[in-house]
Amino acid sequence: MSSAALQNLVNQPYKHGFVTDIEADVTPKGLNEDTIRAISRKKEEPEWLLEFRLQAYRHWLTMTEPTWPNVKYPRIDFQDISYYSAPKPKKLASMDEVDPELIRTFEKLGVPLHEQKALAGVAVDVIFDSVSVATTYKARLAEVGVIFCSMSEAVRDHPELVRKYLGSVVPPADNFYAALNSAVFTDGSFCYIPKGVTCPMELSTYFRINTQDSGQFERTLIVAEEGSYVSYLEGCTAPKFDTNQLHAAVVELVTLDDAEIKYSTVQNWYAGDQNGVGGIYNFVTKRGLCKGVNSKISWTQVETGSAITWKYPSCVLLGDNSIGEFYSVALTNHHQQADTGTKMIHVGKNTRSTIISKGISAGVSNNSYRGLVKIGAKAQGARNFSQCDSMLIGDKCGANTFPYIQVNNSSATVEHEASTSKIGEDQLFYFAQRGVGADEAISMIINGFCKDVFTQLPMEFAVEATKLLGLKLEGSVG
Amino acid sequence: MTGKTILEVRKLTATVSGVEILKGIDLTVHAGEVHAIMGPNGSGKSTLAKVLAGHPAYTVTGGEVLFEGSNLFELAPPERARAGLFLGFQYPIEVPGVSNSAFLRLAYNTVQGARGKDELDPLEFDDYIQDKLKLLEMDPAFLERSVNEGFSGGEKKRNEILQMAILEPKLAILDEADSGLDIDALRIVAGGVNELRSDNNALILVTHYQRLLNYIVPDFVHVMEAGRIIKTGGKDLALQLEDRGYDWVAEEYRAKAA
């Protein structure tokens, strides 16, 4: 009985699996320099950006797909993907021109595009397949000098900023998928927080893949100038298809002196069906550069979707006294695979990092934490604390932890803790004997397990995250 | 005067992993009574407790159990708890990350809620539980710790009795409530249990040793061996067992059976 209840709870049906019937401008499948030129032309890009793409592409051709992650999938045919898909009409001057079908789509997903109906205090940039379709609250943000727009607009309206920072944290040749993204990225979000400004609302990007044969290659760039602060959220969903779609994004964050970026993700891409057919390949490069002294970058992620999740949101702690944080919950079920974790690269003096990772495996899934803590020779007094906990539900799933620790400075302190636990018959019986059914018991156990991460999420996201895990919050919130 | 019948066990047999552990148990418990079940290791005492509470590892293969006149086995384990059957665990389970107060409140709201009492919010529950904590001489700080995690043996056992106190069962089965307790903790646990006794509820103590029975005096003492109750007596039987061990009871039983 207990295992049946466990199954029900972790087998929540995917609610975002519908396809929007909308006319799209899709480039033919295949990738070569002409494809890249075509994307660049469609987006009316400046010459330097086309050059950026072509260099990345040429380098990508020399690279081979990495095979070291603890995941298995058939080779991807990069010529069988369409690299650009945009809903028509693509040029939008105002919200009124957005296709009503699109507006309905996002309302269905709980992301209203009209500002009157929008989430209070959250500005949203909405990416549908390859392009940004709407950004809310732009005017209000502009009053304090915050730039929040699609990457395409940023290239057009703020080319000097984009040129300065694009590729500065994740260089085009960084890795196979970053190179591919640099060559073919189509849109994404751009945020710029000027000196001394605390962004007056949460910024959020909502990603939606809609087309069956297109990949999504978005690029996000957030720059926080001296003494500024921003909290940024991203959410992701996709329709159910029986084929796999590739999502290879790049996210770059830069904080200058005393600045802070808090970046939260609730990832719920379609995970494939119970037999492992379909689902998104989520191969993403996310990295933040704490460039200035006393700056801080904090990653919080709740990863519940995707057939395969393969990403390591990282921090390069360059500025003295800078802080990097990584809080992660990764849930895998059925045939899902996840190889995720972080890299904390300590370069500056007295830099500090914290890693809290919670992996939950159910079904026949495989869940790996992989993390690097590197203390450079000049990182005097650097400190790291890592805690990697795994929870197994049932006995057919797997959990692995691969910590890599490199310390080149003897004054550094590095701590690593790890644990593995299992929701067992005895735990559930204990709850049952106190009148509490299995659903509620599992909910409470998982919530307790993930508490250290959920408390890092902004409120609305924490609620969505707990719901996503098929759970209820402990009644004692507040 | 005998109170109304709370538990009636008739010819109960049960297996675990295909091995028969209970081989025909008969036991009747009335309101207001305290029953002690004693016997050597492996005699089936703890199995009886777990089978009554509905542990999924055990399979009932025969007989019947009536709880307040209704078929107990028609109820799922959480329903048995809500109906008023409580098992104090020999080895209370640790639940890391879940605060004791959240766990206790959920249990209270579920069980007492099923009996028509109002659910308590965290503040109301905090008020409610203070008296119960005093009863077991427990520091309120322990509410903020994870359920049983890092608790000493004595703290775990006191936590079990605390749960009994807030759930107010009609029948409490305490499995080795005294194991691992020093004399002070034993006195506190026993004092708490005695405080909770009334004419409307009943108690089954599963224990190895007589010493608990000095504090909680039983009306009946049952001796179990090899899955059967082979002798039943009054509180003096426990003293005899303390003096002479279990072997003579088994011999007497076999002689009678032969």
Euclidean distance between CA atoms B44 and B48, whole angstroms: 6
| Inter-chain residue contact B102 with A433, CB threshold 8 Å | no
Q: Which residue has the tokens 């395969």?
A: A308
Residue A227 lies in a domain: yes
Q: Are B129 and B143 in contact (CB under 8 A)?
A: yes
Any B CB within 8 A of A387 CB: no
How is chain B split into domains, by residue range?
Answer: 5-257
pLDDT at A212: 64
Residues A140, A153: Cα–Cα separation, whole Å: 17
* Cβ(B51)–Cβ(B58) below 8 Å: yes
The identity of residue B102, as a single letter, is A
Residues in chain A: 478
Give 10-residue mean pLDDT values along chain B (258 residues): 89 96 97 96 95 96 97 97 97 91 95 92 93 93 92 93 96 93 92 95 93 94 96 94 91 87
Report d(CA A87, CA A130) in Å as an integer: 9
Coil vs helix vs strand at A263: strand
Mutual angle of helices B122-135 and B183-196, in 10-degree steps: 120
- The tens place of each residue's pLDDT in chain A, 478 residues long, gives 334 444 444 455 666 666 666 666 777 888 999 999 998 998 899 999 999 999 999 999 999 999 989 888 888 888 888 888 776 644 444 555 556 666 666 666 555 555 544 444 556 676 666 566 666 777 788 899 999 888 988 999 999 999 999 999 999 999 999 999 999 998 888 999 999 999 988 888 877 766 666 678 889 999 999 999 999 888 766 666 667 778 899 999 999 999 999 998 888 777 777 777 888 888 999 999 999 999 999 999 988 888 898 999 999 999 999 999 999 999 888 888 999 999 999 999 999 999 999 998 888 888 999 999 999 999 999 999 999 999 888 788 889 999 999 999 999 999 999 988 888 788 889 999 999 998 788 888 888 888 888 888 777 667 667 666 653 222 222 2
pLDDT of residue A472: 24
* Strand partners for A289: A254, A316
Asked if the Cβ–Cβ distance from B82 to A429 is below 8 Å, we say no
pLDDT for position A127: 67
Cβ–Cβ of B77/A434 closer than 8 Å?
no
Give the range of the structural domain holding residue A12, as residue numbers without chain letter: 2-468
CA pair distance A358, B96, nearest whole angstrom: 13
Q: Are A343 and A372 in contact (CB under 8 A)?
A: yes
Which member of A421, A474, A478 has the closest CB to residue B96? Answer: A421
Q: Is A258 left (phi over 0), alpha (psi -120 to 50) or beta?
A: left
pTM, two decimal places: 0.79
d(CA A394, CA A447): 18
Chain B residue closest to A426 (CA)? B93
pLDDT at residue A402, rounded to an integer: 93
B positions 65-94 inside 8 Å of A (CB): 76-78, 80-82, 86-87, 89, 92-93
A314-317 and A337-346 beta bridge pairing? parallel
Residues of B within 8 A of A433 (CB-CB) are 53-54, 77-78, 80-81, 86-87, 89
- A465-470 long-range contacts (CB < 8 A, ≥24 apart) are A465/A266, A465/A302, A465/A329, A468/A266, A468/A268, A468/A302, A468/A304, A469/A302, A469/A304, A469/A329, A469/A331, A469/A360, A470/A9, A470/A10, A470/A12, A470/A443
What are the strands, taking DSSP E only, across B44-156? 58-67, 70-71, 85-88, 95-99, 146-147
3-state secondary structure string across A295-322: CEEEEEEEECCCCEEEECCEEEECCCCC
With 0-12 / 13-18 / 19 or more C-beta atoms within 10 angstroms meaning exposed / middle / buried, residue A327 is buried
B146 touches chain A (CB under 8 A): yes
At residue A476, the pLDDT reads: 20
- In this prediction, residue B175 carries a pLDDT of 96
Q: How many structural domains is chain A composed of? A: 1
Residue A87: name the closest of A131, A34, A41, A136 by CA: A131
What three-state secondary structure class fits B135? Answer: helix
The owner of tokens 């579920």 is: B110
Q: State the Cα–Cα distance between residues A326 and A357, nearest whole angstrom.
A: 8
In a domain, A473, yes or no: no
User: Residue A1: which residues within 8 A CB-CB, separation 6 or more?
Assistant: A438, B56, B76
Q: What is the pLDDT of residues A232-268, one digit of tens each?
A: 888 766 666 667 778 899 999 999 999 999 998 888 7
Give the CATH fold of the B5-257 domain.
Rossmann fold (3.40.50)
The predicted complex's ipTM stands at 0.96
* Residue A213 pLDDT: 64
The pLDDT, as a whole number, for residue A349 is 98
Contact in structure between A115 and A201 (CB atoms under 8 Å): no
Q: What is the pLDDT of residue A471?
A: 35
Closest CA to A339 of A303, A376, A314: A303
Helix (H, G, I), strand (E, B) or coil at B107: helix
pLDDT digits (tens, 9 = 90+) for A47-61: 999 999 999 999 999
